[in-house]
Each structure stands twice: as structure tokens, then as C-alpha cells.
Amino acid sequence: MEWLSFGIIISVFIFILLFPLQKERSLNRKKIIQLSSFVIGPSLVIYYFIGSPNSSTYSDIELEIDRTIINLEEEIKTNPNDESIWISLAEAYSLKNQHDKAFLSYEKAIGIENYSNSNTFADYGEAMIRAGDVALLSQADDLFNRSLALEPNNAKSLFLGGLTSSSLGDYDIAINRWESLIDLTPPEEAIGTLKDQLEEWKSIINDNNISMIKQFFVNVDIDPLLIDELKTYPQKRLFLIIRDPLNPVPPLAVTRENVVSLSKYIGNADAMIRGVDLNQYDQLEFVARVSLSGDPLDRSNDISDSVIIDISDDKVISLQLTNN
């Protein structure tokens, strides 16, 4: 089962980091190959730290997971305060792509453990990565951070946390995590891969390829009447989107929020595509959109507001959502 987990992580990171990049007209074949090496190569570390594959076939594993879920769902009815059952159930749900159930199970286990188990936070973050939703990367990174606060040498959180933080543009954090991982003396083959990627991250910082100076302060005011009307939509989410007005698809940056009035900074760390510098544009369009289904592409009920600003304008970006 750990081998299946390992394979899923590789596949998801290829999808999250490479697929959007292929849409860039400036991205050549050489760059895609380099990025593929970055995703697949470092993932070997999980193999060395977590374990070797079993000889079970994929279909056998699928049947085993199905049986496991049935048994665990029965067992949790009589042992609702057993965190180990909740964790096992979460892992099984995650492998079956039942991600919402997996997240709820991890939340249950973490509460029972009184937020004290580093491994559970690490596993929860891994499950968010498996979900394949770019909007969850920031939350996954936060879970790895909480895991490392409890256990600074948690290998899974150091490795996956390095990947998530680099994807979010936080290269200093990624470097610190992987340097700490190297201190745990993984096999020589893994060390070489880690060091190669560390050099690339350091080069990005030293060459100042990504400017993190400019951030944009966005204020979203949501009418309380609208919030009340949307109470019957439990999956609803607020998406804050930054687009190039001349080329709005795909968006440059996206954050996923709860449907409440809020104020926050948005910048390069929220970019959809690694390496995008929002400061290179003369104008940017900011959009606040509520999706009733939680799907960022769902526009069946268009509750949104947008504004185009000049990049040199330091004013607060104000957006309003009403029930009109």
C-alpha cells in the first residue's frame, strides 16, 4: 500500500506542477524534461524513507482497500475515540480518491490526539497532495509546518514540505527543509537528487528570478444577506483570482477561501504556475467569485465582482459581492 501511495504522490505532483506549465507557449521540451526530473527524481526519497514495494497487483490492492474501508467503518462505530482507526480509515479513503471523507477522518484523529502527533499532520498533508487540487497546496504546506513544529526531523514532512513550499514560491523554506532532510543521512542516491534540486532553488534566489517585493492587498466585502442565503450550500467556496486582462485564461494566481468578508495580501506565492512574476504586468484583473459547488470552474451561479488595476497603483483593491 505504501508503494501505491508513493506512485500517487509522483503522479499528482506531475499533474500539479507540469500540466499547467505545458500551456505556456514559452515552455520548451527541454524545460519540461527538467521539471519531470525534479518531480520524479526527488520522489525516490520517499521510497528510501518509507519502505519497499510489495508484489501485490494493482487489482489486489484495490480489493484490499475496499475490504479495509468496510471493516473500518464498522469498527469505528464501536470505537469512535480510537484515533488509529480514524487514521487507517483516512488512508484508505485517500487511496480510493474519497478525499473529503479522508480529510474529515484526519481531522477527527487529530482532535482525539489533541493535536500532538507529528505523523498524523504529515499524513494529512500527504492526503491533500493526493487530492490533486492546486488550491490545497497551501493548506498541505501548513500541515507539514505543524508536523515539523512537533517533530523537526519528520522525514515525510521535510520531503513533501520542501515540494509544497517550493511550489508556493517559498524557496528559503524549501531549502531549509531539504537541508534538514539531508542531515538525516538518506542513501547516497537520494542525497545526490536532493542536492541537485537544492542548487536549483538557490540559483533561483541568487539570480533574483522571482520578485517577491510587490504584494497586493485585497479587501472583499460580502453582503451578510448573501452569506445567509448561501447557508444551504455546504461546499461553497470563495475564489480570489488574478488574471492578465489581455490573456485571462489561464489565471495567473488563485486562492481558495471560506465565503466570508476578508482582507489579505496576494502575491507571487499564490501563482498557479511556478516562476510567474506578477510584477512584470502593466495591469492585472482581480476577481472575487463564489462557487456554490466548490469547483473553481463552476459559473452556474455567477456571484462575482472584478476590477482592473495598474500595477503601479498601491491602493487597496476592493471587491463587493451582493445578493443582487
Q: Indicate whether 52 pLDDT > 70.
A: no
Q: Could you tell me how far CA 237 lies from the centroid of its own chain? A: 16
Q: Is the pTM of this model over 0.85?
A: no
Supply the pLDDT for residue 324.
65
Q: Could you tell me how far CA 324 lies from the centroid of its own chain? A: 33
Over residues 139-160, mean pLDDT: 95
In which residue ranges of the chain is CATH 2.60.40 found?
A: 216-321
Supply the pLDDT for residue 214.
60
Mean residue pLDDT across the chain: 79
Over residues 236-261, mean pLDDT: 90
Instruction: Of 111-115, 148-152, 202-206, give the lowest mean pLDDT range.
Output: 202-206
Q: Indicate whether 37 pLDDT > 80.
A: no
Supply the pLDDT for residue 192.
85
Q: What percent of the chain has pLDDT over 90?
A: 36
pLDDT band at 75 (very low <50, low <70, confident <90, very high): very high
In which residue ranges of the chain is CATH 1.25.40.10 found?
A: 2-55+117-206
Q: Residue 273's closest CA among 88, 86, 94, 26?
A: 26
Per-residue model confidence as pLDDT tens digits over 173-182: 999 999 999 9
Q: Indicate whether 1 pLDDT > 70.
A: no
Supply the pLDDT for residue 18.
41
Supply the pLDDT for residue 284.
92
Instruction: Of 154-163, 204-213, 274-283, give the lowest mean pLDDT range.
Output: 204-213
Give the CATH number of domain 2-55+117-206.
1.25.40.10
Over residues 81-92, mean pLDDT: 94
Residues 290, 237: contact at Cβ < 8 Å? yes
Instruction: Of 167-171, 180-184, 233-237, give the lowest mean pLDDT range.
Output: 167-171
Could you give the CA distance from residue 281 to residue 304 in angstroms, rounded to a whole number? 23
Q: Indicate whether 207 pLDDT > 60.
A: no
What cell numbers appear for 16 in the block? 500539479
Supply the pLDDT for residue 51.
45
Could you give the CA distance from residue 47 to residue 22 in angstroms, rounded to a whole number? 28
Q: What is the CA radius of gyration of the chain?
A: 21
Give the CATH number of domain 216-321.
2.60.40
Supply the pLDDT for residue 153.
95
Segments in 18-136 forming alpha helices (H): 19-22, 29-40, 44-50, 58-78, 83-95, 99-112, 118-130
pLDDT band at 33 (very low <50, low <70, confident <90, very high): very low
Per-residue model confidence as pLDDT tens digits over 268-312: 878 887 777 888 888 999 999 998 888 777 666 778 899 998 887
pLDDT band at 169 (very low <50, low <70, confident <90, very high): confident
Q: Indicate whether 137 pLDDT > 70.
A: yes
Single-letter code of the amino acid located at 284 = L
